[in-house]
Chains A and B, each alone.
Chain A
C-alpha cells in the first residue's frame, strides 16, 4: 500500500432516501479507500447504511453528495456511456443465493448475459463466452455441464458459487460482496469465504465485503470500516478494529456477538453487563 493508486476512493459520500420532507440521509459523509488487491470490510447493523453505500458505489443508487474515484477517475461525473463501460470493471455478489439468479434462465444464460452488453468492439463470440463460462464454473468448483441446468437444481452454496462465477465473467477489478455468506450454513460459509480469498490472490481482485458478522469480516478483510446510522464510527486495519477497538460502539458490537467458546463468551457477557451498569450510572 505504497504510492500505488487505490482502486476505489470514496470521499464524503452522501445518499438520501425519499423526497421532500420525508428525505432521510441513509449515508452521511462516508469516506474510505480500498487499496488495489485488498479487501475492505464494511460492518454495521441494519440501518447503518452499509448496503446503501455498496449500491451507491455500484451506481445503483443516486448519490446526493461526495465523490467516488474508481482507479483515479471520478465516476460520479462521468458520461453515461463511459460509466456503462465501467460496468465490466465493477461487479456484485448478493446475499440471497435464491433470488440472485433468474429462476427461468439456465446458468449458461445467466453467465453469458454480462458479456452480451459489452461494447461492440470488445464483445466476445458465443464460443468464447461458452469457453469462459465453463472455465469459471470449474474455477468455482462446479462441473461445466452446470451451464445447461437451472438455479432450482443447486443448493444455496452452489448458487453462491454460480453468482461468483457470473461476477467474474468480465474480469472485473472490484467486486462488491453484499452479505455473501450470511444466508449460508457454517460449513458452506467456510467454503465460499475460502473461494473468495483464493480468487482474490489469483486474480488480484479488490473486494468491498459488506457484512454484519464481525468474525467473518475479520477473517477475510485487510481493513475494516464500522458504520452506524450512516456515519463511520471507526476505521482501521482488521487486526486493530477487531482486537483493539477504540470506539465505544465497536466495543459494544464486539461484546454483543456471541463466540463459540463458553469461557470466552462468559467473559464477554460479563463485560457486556458491566458496561450496561456503567452506562446506567452515567
Chain B
C-alpha cells in the first residue's frame, strides 16, 4: 500500500493527465482547430460565403475550392467556416444554460438532501417528462427562428437529467468521512460544497459537458437542417446538409464535407469525454502509477533466482498422503512476461481432514495464494512457476473445463464479505440449488430437497430459501455461503477471512459452525486470516506469510508458544491481548515492502532486529526444524536467545 515514491505522478492535474493520452491530445487539437477556424472565419475564409458563381456549380475539391462548390457555386469551405460560428455558439449557449441550472441544483439536492432534495427531484421529473422537442419547436416559432433562445431552451430542458447526475455525484461525496471531519472542524455548508464537493465532481462535470455538447451539436444542426434557424442565404452546418440532401441524386459529394465536419466535431467531443473520464478515474487511484515500468526489476530478478531453487528435486517432491501439495508456487500480475510478482516460492502441504491457518497482514499474499489454488486469479494474474497438486493431480495448467470440475466438487471457497458473495438478484434457495445442480445431475425437486438438507447442515431455517440476500443478516449470509460451498461435498474448503466482516458474537457462531461442519464432513480447511485469535480457535497448524513468502510453518500450539521467525515473534507481541494496559505495545517499525521493492535477500531484513549482512545478499531458503516445523530464517538460534 505504501507508494511514497510516486509523488510526481500524483500531483499532476486532470488536464495534464488528459494530455498524456494520445486520443485526448488528438481530439483536443481537432476541436481547437475547428472552433478556432470557425471563429476566425472572417479572416481565413478563402472566399465570401455568400458569393455565388453559377459557372462553377457543384464542383468537386480543387485548389481554388478545397472542398468544392455547392449548387449555387459558393465555396463550401468558406460556408462551413462561417456556419460553424453559428452552430458552435449555439452549443456553448445550451451548455452554459444547462450548467447554470444543473450544477447548483444538483449539488444542493445531493449534499443538503431532505425536503430540498425531494422538491428538486420533483422538478426534475417534470423537466424529464416535458416533450423537449415540442417546446424547442414552439420556442423557435415564437421567437421567429431565433436560435439563441432555442438553444437556451434546449439547455434548460436537458438540465433535468444532469441535475440527477450531479446530485448522485454529490451524494456519494457527502458520505465520505472527510466531509464529516470538515463539519466537525466547523466549516460551513457552503464552504464544504465549494471546497470539497465541487472539486470531486469536476471530473464527472467535464465528461458530461463534452457528451452534452456532442448531443447538442446534433440537435442544433438538426434544427437548422429542418430549416429552423437563420434563413437560407446565410450558411449553417445543418442547412448545408439539407441543401446537399436535395441534390443527393445528382451529386452525393456535398454530403461528405457538410456531414463530415459535424461528425468530426462530435467525434472529437466524445473522444475528449472518454479521455477526461479515464484521466479522472486514474487521478485519485494508483492505476496510473502501477503501469510505470521503472519499479518491477527487483521483483522480477527474484523470479529467476527462484527458478534455480525449483530445480531442487527434494523440495519439489510430493509428501505422500497429502491432499494438497503446493511447491514453489509463484504468481505474477500484469502484462505477460512483465509481471509483478505477488507471491513466490510458496510451499506447503494440506493433509486430509486438517484445518490449517494461512496467516498474514495485508500485502502478505495470503489471499492471492488461496485464489491461485482455485485458478481464480482473474485475467490479470497467472501462475508463473511452481505446482499445485491435489491428490497428486497437477492443477497448474489444467484445462478450463476440467478445472471447473475440481471447483466446488473437490475444492470449495467461502469469501470475506458474505453480503456481496451472494447474487443480489436471486433467492437464496435458488443459488444453493444451482450449486447443487452444478455437481449432481438431479431433478429440481431433488435439488430442493438437498438444499433443505444443506440449510439444516448450516443450522438455518429452511424458510430462508425463499428470501433474497438483502433480506438476511451477514451471519445468515455467511451460513448460506457455507451451504453453497458444501453442495459439492468438497475435500478441501478454502475460507478467506470468513468472519472478518462480522460482529464478534456472530463470528463466534460461524467459527463454531465451521468446526462442527468440518468434524461432520471431515474435509480439510484452509483458513485465510489476519486474526491470530481466529487461527488459535480453529486451526491445528499455521502457515505464516510475509511479503509474498511463507516465513514459518508450525503447529498452532508451537507458533504461539515459541515462534521461529522474527516476524512472527514481533507480530504476536504487537497484539494488545496480553499486553500490559497503559504501556506502549511492542511494534515492528517500518512497513511491509511493496512487491516492486522486495529485496534480493530476506524480505523482512529491513525491519528485523537480528538481520545481518548474510540476510541481505541472497535469497533465504526455508529451513526444516524439529517437530515438523519450518522457518525462513538463518538466525533461529539467536531468536531463541532473544526470547529467553
What is the interface of chain A, defined by CB distance below 8 A to chain B?
45-46, 58-60, 84-85, 87-88, 90-92, 94-96, 99-106, 110, 113-114, 117, 148-150, 152-158, 163, 166-167, 170, 185-191, 193-194, 197-198, 212, 214-216, 218-220, 238-239, 252-253, 255-263, 265, 269, 272-273
Contact = CB atoms under 8 A, between A and B. Distances in A.
Nearest to B7: A149
B10 interface: yes
B571 interface: yes
Contacts of A158: 2
Given A219-B576, A265-B533, A91 B184 contact: yes
Nearest to B582: A197
Contacts of A170: 185
Contacts of B508: 255-258, 272
A238 B182 contact: no
Interface stretch (B212-220, B482-490, B584-592): B584-592
A45 B536 contact: no
Contacts of A256: 504-505, 507-508
Interface string B2-46: 111011001100000000000000000000000000000000000
A121 B207 CA distance: 43
B609 interface: no
- Which one of B1, B2, B187, B361 has the greatest number of beta carbons of chain A within 10 Å? B1
A117 B191 contact: yes
A194 B585 contact: yes
Interface of B: 1-4, 6-7, 10-11, 176-178, 180-188, 191, 195-196, 199-200, 283-286, 361-362, 503-505, 507-508, 511-512, 530-537, 556-557, 560, 570-572, 574-579, 581-582, 584-588, 591
18 contacts: A45-B504, A87-B184, A100-B176, A100-B178, A103-B284, A113-B187, A114-B186, A152-B10, A163-B181, A187-B588, A194-B587, A215-B575, A215-B576, A258-B508, A258-B511, A265-B533, A272-B508, A273-B512
Nearest to A252: B505
Contacts of B182: 113
Contacts of A110: 178
Given A117-B191, A152-B284, A153-B4, A258 B507 contact: yes
A96 to B, nearest CB: 6
B183 A260 contact: no
Contacts of B507: 256, 258
Nearest to B567: A187
A92 B184 contact: yes
B571 A187 contact: yes
A148 B557 CA distance: 48
Contacts of A155: 1-2, 591
B557 A253 contact: no
A258 B560 contact: no
Given A92-B184, A103-B284, A257-B504, A153 B7 contact: yes
Given A102-B178, A218-B581, 11 more contacts: A87-B184, A94-B181, A117-B187, A187-B574, A194-B587, A215-B577, A219-B581, A257-B504, A258-B507, A259-B577, A273-B512
Q: Chain A contact residues: over half helix, strand or loop, or mixed?
A: helix
A263 B556 CA distance: 10
Contacts of A198: 584
B584 A197 contact: yes
A191 B587 contact: yes
B3 A153 contact: yes
* Top 3 A-B pairs, shortest CB-CB distance: A258-B533, A87-B186, A260-B532
Contacts of A191: 587
Contact of B196 (A90, A102, A215, A239): A102
Nearest to A215: B577
Contacts of B560: 260-262
Contacts of B3: 152-153
Contacts of A255: 508
B602 to A, nearest CB: 17
Contacts of B362: 156, 185
A157 B591 contact: yes
- Which one of B10, B362, B576 has the greatest number of beta carbons of chain A within 10 Å? B576
Nearest to B584: A194
Contact of A260 (B503, B577, B588): B577
Contacts of B185: 87-88, 91, 113-114, 117, 170
A260 B361 contact: no
A114 B284 CA distance: 23
A99 B560 CA distance: 35
A190 B186 contact: no
Contact of A100 (B177, B574, B576, B591): B177
B536 A259 contact: yes
Given A87-B186, A189-B574, A190-B585, A265 B537 contact: yes
Nearest to A218: B581
Given A212-B504, A259-B577, A219 B186 contact: no
A256 B503 CA distance: 9
Nearest to B1: A155
A186 B186 CA distance: 33
Nearest to B586: A190
Contact of B184 (A90, A101, A197): A90
A186 B1 contact: no
Contacts of A252: 505
B576 A193 contact: yes
A38 to B, nearest CB: 11
Nearest to A110: B178
Contacts of A152: 3, 10, 284-286
A60 B4 contact: no
A262 B557 contact: yes
A84 B585 CA distance: 37
B176 to A, nearest CB: 5
Nearest to B179: A102
A110 B178 CA distance: 9
B519 to A, nearest CB: 14
B183 A60 contact: yes
A46 B195 CA distance: 32
Nearest to A85: B186
B181 A88 contact: no
A214 B588 CA distance: 22
B76 to A, nearest CB: 46
A101 B577 CA distance: 30
Nearest to B507: A256
Nearest to A59: B184
A150 B185 CA distance: 20
Nearest to A104: B199
